Amino acid sequence: MDNDQASIRAESFRTGFEGRPMREYKGLPIYAAPGLHEAAAEMLGNAVSAKKTRVLEFGAGSGAMSLRLSDLGFDVTASDLFAESFKPAHIPFVAANLNGAFATQWPQGFDAVMALEIIEHLENPREVLRQVRALLPVGGQLVLSTPNIANPVSQALFVRSGQFQWFRDVDYHEQGHITPLSPWVLEKALQEAGFTIRAEQAVSNPFRRLRRLGWGVRVLAPWLVLLGGQPPARRGELWLVRAEAV
């Protein structure tokens, strides 16, 4: 994908939230499902001490997550395709296109990388994970999330329409959700890139917007809760994972 197409998709996502009521952190809008930023910050904090830990946040958006991490004591660098939306002036910001060889922009590397709700926007998840691995030493931490297409609502929607939750036509065009990844696929990709999963967590209730998906999905999804074999950590609207570089 060329830079123009990446910019078009990112700009559509950036402007698509204008006028919508948003949750905030210290006045900065949070472009993520309820509870994700809090859970991700806690997951990273459980693995490393904030003091002197250098964290690179991809898909920084307004800066809400970067500011949260900075407030917790982490040494944060933020990155996104656009700089215009990023507000915290005291946090270093570097523009980067994650569809390219972005690791070369930070030869010094980092102790941890935060990548929330970004990998589904990218063309080659495996190459992205290899690039992230190049930024980390052995023992470095990656905290990553993506919409969970294996949750029961998403499975029911796929049965009815052939499209997953958060990967419908409207999500493709308005939010740039172009790459659906199940936890199983993403786990394999992480292993192949040089990571081992150390923690995983379900975030947000996939049923919270069920009425918008039609009566067939509303009938089928509760049955898939009963019949499905996914562990609890892989039943949420989002899959949040902490992986360690090995």
> What is the reported pLDDT for 29?
96
Q: According to the model, what pLDDT value does residue 20 have?
A: 61
Task: Name the pLDDT band for 244 (thresholds 50, 70, 90).
Answer: very high
Read off the pLDDT of each residue in 162-174 and give the average, rounded to a whole number. 96
Nearest to 194 by CA among 239, 105, 131: 131
pLDDT band at 204 (very low <50, low <70, confident <90, very high): very high
Average pLDDT of the segment spanning 73-95: 97
Q: How far apart are CA 139 and CA 122, in angstroms?
A: 25
Average pLDDT, the chain: 93
Token digits of residue 75: 């040494």
Residue type, 217: V
Q: What does the pLDDT read at residue 22? A: 82
pLDDT at residue 222 greater than cutoff 60: yes
69-95 mean pLDDT: 97
pLDDT of residue 8: 62
Residue 3 predicted with pLDDT over 70: no
Report the number of distinct structural domains present in the chain: 1
Query: What's the pLDDT score for residue 91?
Result: 98
The letter for the amino acid at 172 is: Y
Three-class HEC string of the chain: CCHHHHHHHHHHHHHHCCCCCCCEECCEECCCCCCHHHHHHHHHHHHCCCCCCEEEEECCCCCHHHHHHHHCCCEEEEEECCCCCCCCCCCCEEECCCCCCHHHHCCCCCCEEEEECCHHHCCCHHHHHHHHHHHCCCCCEEEEEEECCCCHHHHHHHHHHCCECCECHHHHHHCCCCCCCCHHHHHHHHHHHCEEEEEEEEECCHHHHHHHHCHHHHHHHHHHHHHCCCCHHHCCCEEEEEEEEC
- Other Cβ atoms less than 10 A from the Cβ of 4: the count is 8
Q: What angle do CA 205, 208, 214 make, to 5 degrees?
A: 125
Contacts with 66 (C-beta within 8 Å, 6 or more apart), sequence order: 57, 60, 76, 78, 86, 88, 91
Q: Per-residue pLDDT averaged across 232-245, rounded?
A: 97
Q: Is the pLDDT of residue 219 over 80?
A: yes
Rounded CA separation 57/55 (Å): 6
- Mean pLDDT of all residues in 112-130: 98
Q: For 189-199, what is the mean pLDDT?
A: 98
Domain span at residue 20 reads 3-245
pTM reported for the whole predicted model: 0.92
> What is the reported pLDDT for 2?
55
Which CATH number do you get for residue 153?
3.40.50.150
